[in-house]
Structures are given as C-alpha cells and as structure tokens.
Structure 1
Amino acid sequence: MKNIMKTLGLATVLFLSFAFNTVEDEKKEIKVESSKVIWKGYKVTGSHQGTINLKSGVLTFEDDKLVGGEFVMDMTSINTTDLEGNWKDKLDGHLKSDDFFGVATYPEATLVFTNVEVSGKNAYKVVGDLTIKGKTNPVEFTISIYGSKATANLKIDRSKYDVRYGSSSFFDNLQDKVIYDEFDLITDLEF
C-alpha cells in the first residue's frame, strides 16, 4: 500500500509540474524606428515606390523558432520616394484618397500570422490575415530571420481589398493607364 501511495504521489507531482511549467512564448517587439517597409506599384508605363511606417510589430518565438507575428501599419504615412515636388505631393495625396487606400477612414492596416512552418535554415513559410480598408484576406510569404533582423517580401493583390483605381479587374478600356493589381511590400525589420 505504501508503494502505491508513493507512486500516486510521484505521479501527481510530475503531472502538476508539467501542467504548470508550460513553455512560454517569447515575444520580440519590432523596433519601428529602425525597421523599413517599402512598397512598389507597377503600371503599364512604369512603376513607383515609397515607404509605409510601422506603428507596431511583434514576432513570437518558441524555443528560438518563429511561431507567430502581428503588425500594424500606419497607412497615413504612405510616402512616395521616387518623385519630388508637385508630382510627389499629387501621388501621395492620391494614394491616401478613397481612390486607393482611403486613409481618413482606414488609417491602419494589419497583418496577423495564422500559420508558421519552418521551410529552411532561418526561413519560415507564413500564412497570415492581411487587413486593408477593412477587408481581410489570407496572404502567403517567406520570412527569413538572422539574429535580431528579419526580411520578407509580400505580393499583395489590391483588388481583393477594394482598391480599384486604374485596375483592369474593375474597368475596361484603360489601355496604357492600367495600374497592375499586384504590388510588392519589401520589409527589413529589426527586433
């Protein structure tokens, strides 16, 4: 009987120690001042690029492996970097208008990782929910992590977020005025 009681006592102690010693995720805050998000948009007659500021971001790790992430972008900060003067001001204003991202109504965009899988050394395949203009759609991309830095390139189909201006998905006969639906986000993050 004593042995049974000792065994039950030991089993109880082991169970409780496992139950209360769960591995805790480590959240690493993104340094928004030193991180960069570059956008590139393409049209029939060329392209434009610029930046968008991050408001906040966090990458979540478990045992030094990426398991999650969450980001908030400040859409009011959309900035064109390949133009100057009046042309820059016009494009910045147009991108912020309801024709494109409607930043007065939708000042933020968010990305929340929903699935993360190791895809190689320092690389992860990520599926996430991207919300722009109040519309949420899944996106897939690869993120690479080296020390306290991470990089990722995302291709975004703006037509899924009701960004219609100059899109041949919504309008006919645009000819050389077509702005392609897909644009790139190139991220260089520090945490």
Structure 2
Amino acid sequence: MKKRALSLALAMIFGYAATATEPVESEKKQVNVEKSKVTWKGYKVTGSHEGTINLKSGYLVMDGKKLTGGEFVVDMSTLTVTDLEGDSKGKLEGHLKSGDFFGTESNETSKLVFTSVRPMNKNSYTVNGDLTIKGITKPVTLVVTLFEGKATATLKVDRTKYDIKYGSGSFFDDLGDKTIYDEFDLVVDLVY
C-alpha cells in the first residue's frame, strides 16, 4: 500500500511539474494599419524635413502580456512630406522616391523583423531586428513601449548602410550647406 501511495504521489508531482513548465502559446496580434502611424524626420545642415509612410502589414508576437517578436512592412510608395506644400512638397517627395534615395519604383517595401526582445521594465523592451531598405538588410536596435493596445517604437537609421549616399558628408566633399546628415529618425505608433 505504501508503495502504491508513493508511486501515486510521484506521478502527481512529476505530472504537475510537466504541465507547469509547458510554454504558454504565443499569440500574433495584427496591427491595425489604418490607425497606426509611421513618421520620419531627416536632417540637413540648414534644417530638417519630416513626413509619413504607411504601414502595409504588421504584427506583434505576445506571450501573455509580454512582447516576444514582431514584423512590419511599410509601403515606400506612400512616402510623403508633411512640412512643405505645393511644388516644393512634390519635388522633395519625387526626389526621395527616386534612385538617389529610396528607389521606390523597384523597392516597393521596406521591412523590419524582430530577432530578439529583452524586457527593460514592465512596459518597455530593447529589440534587436533586421531592417531591410532597398533590398539591403542590416541589424538595428530600437526601444518598443507597450501601453493599452498601442506600441510605440523609436529608431535612428543610418541611410548610408542602405546605399543611400546622396548629399552625405561622409562620402562627398565640399557639400557645404547642401549636406544631408546620414541618420534619420523613425517614430512608429502601432495600434493592435
């Protein structure tokens, strides 16, 4: 009888331990592309320009309330300038979509895939990812903050790593006030 009770107790303990350590299934939370927003800001010696790009698709991978992954695609043809109007706006948008910059005719999308996610605190995460622009993929690090069905990410991108060298003081001499800085900022507000 003691042997049977001991066997039963061990079976219960090991059975409980096996179920207690099974991983929680991750859930993909699709991003609402209509309500989400991607803004950019580029800098030059004489000032800056800013605008938006539309998300084409995206999702966050959640383990309960914890971020564990994600992937996003932006539609580069939707790149717009918001700080100019009229001909100046059209000229800059056309130039940014040209081969000098993003070459949107042959590079219709850009993509960010999370490769690792580390919690910083209750709501914020340090994310390493692979960013693809103009068919070139490079590693990036960003901070993602989650709060009530929204995620915000900020990212600095060095455009020269993606073969976007136009007006870069790192590659061309004597540009003077025509110099465009290599890094631009992205702020992503996601609704999921």
d(CA) in 2 for partners of 1:189, 1:66: 13
d(CA) in 2 for partners of 1:23, 1:45: 52
d(CA) in 2 for partners of 1:172, 1:124: 39
Identical amino acids, percent of aligned pairs:
58
Aligned to 2:67: 66
Aligned to 1:115: 116
Kindly provide the CA deviation profile for residues 100-130 of structure 1, in whole angstroms up to 9, marking residues without a partner as x: 0001111000000011011012100111100
d(CA) in 2 for partners of 1:155, 1:169: 17
Give runs of aligned pairs for residues 152-171 of structure 1, distance below 5 A.
152-171=153-172
d(CA) in 1 for partners of 2:170, 2:136: 17
The answer to whether 1:89 aligns with 2:101 is no
Give the drift of 1:23: 2.1
**Counterpart AA for 2:152:** T
Give the drift of 1:22: 4.2
Aligned to 2:187: 186
Aligned to 2:149: 148
Kindly provide the CA deviation profile for residues 40-59 of structure 1, in whole angstroms up to 9, marking residues without a partner as x: 00000010000000000100
Give the drift of 1:14: 3.6
d(CA) in 1 for partners of 2:88, 2:158: 25
SS at match of 2:174: coil
Give the drift of 1:63: 2.3
d(CA) in 2 for partners of 1:24, 1:158: 37
d(CA) in 1 for partners of 2:111, 2:69: 14
Q: 1:14 to 1:65 in 2, by over 3 A?
A: same
SS at match of 2:120: strand
d(CA) in 1 for partners of 2:165, 2:178: 13
SS at match of 2:91: helix
Total equivalences in the alignment: 191
Aligned to 1:100: 101
d(CA) in 1 for partners of 2:110, 2:171: 23
Gaps of 5+ in 2: none
Gaps of 5+ in 1: none
